[in-house]
Amino acid sequence: MPATTFAVTQTTTLGRIVRRAEQAPQPVMTRLLLDASCESDVVVLETSQETIYAPLACDRFWDDQAKQAFLNKQVAIVLEVTKQRFRVLLQTLDGAQAEFTVNGLWVR
């Protein structure tokens, strides 16, 4: 991890999407997902406000088609930290969702 990152030690919500019946989804402090990549078994999610690092086998991350459902979209992200696991949950305004169980979480 880059030296300027810090470990995520508690569940952190980065934006949210409010959904109500018969209304358009409402973004609340969402981020634009600028890039998503995996190299040397570390996923890097670059948003308009922060960069998230999460160890994960690259063959368990998005392929190019799945990535397109999220790139350059407003996303809400939950970085979940429990005694049992670390998870990254992403959701877009148009309803795409992804979840990854990872081996730690760092943010810059």
Model confidence band, residue 99 (pLDDT cutoffs 50, 70, 90): very high
Q: Tell me the pLDDT band of 79, cut-offs 50, 70 and 90.
A: very high
Pairing between β-strand 16-18 and β-strand 26-28 as defined by DSSP bridges:
antiparallel
Q: For residue 3, is pLDDT > 90?
A: no
Note down the domain range covering 46: 6-107
Q: Work out how many domains the chain is built from and give that number.
A: 1
Instruction: Decide: 89 and 97 in contact? Cβ < 8 Å.
Output: yes
60 phi, psi to nearest 5 deg: -100, 0
Which strand (E) or helix (H) includes residue 89? strand 86-92
pLDDT cut 70: percent of the chain above it: 100
Q: Is residue 1, in this structure, part of any structural domain at all?
A: no
Q: Considering the domain boundaries, does residue 43 fall inside one?
A: yes
pLDDT at 46 over 90: yes
Distance CA 86, CA 80 (A): 6
- pTM value surpassing 0.75: yes
Return the bridge partners of 39, or none: 42
Can you tell me the mean pLDDT for 79-88? 96
Flag whether 95 is in a domain.
yes
Is residue 70 included in any domain, yes or no? yes
Q: For residue 86, tell me if it sits in a domain.
A: yes
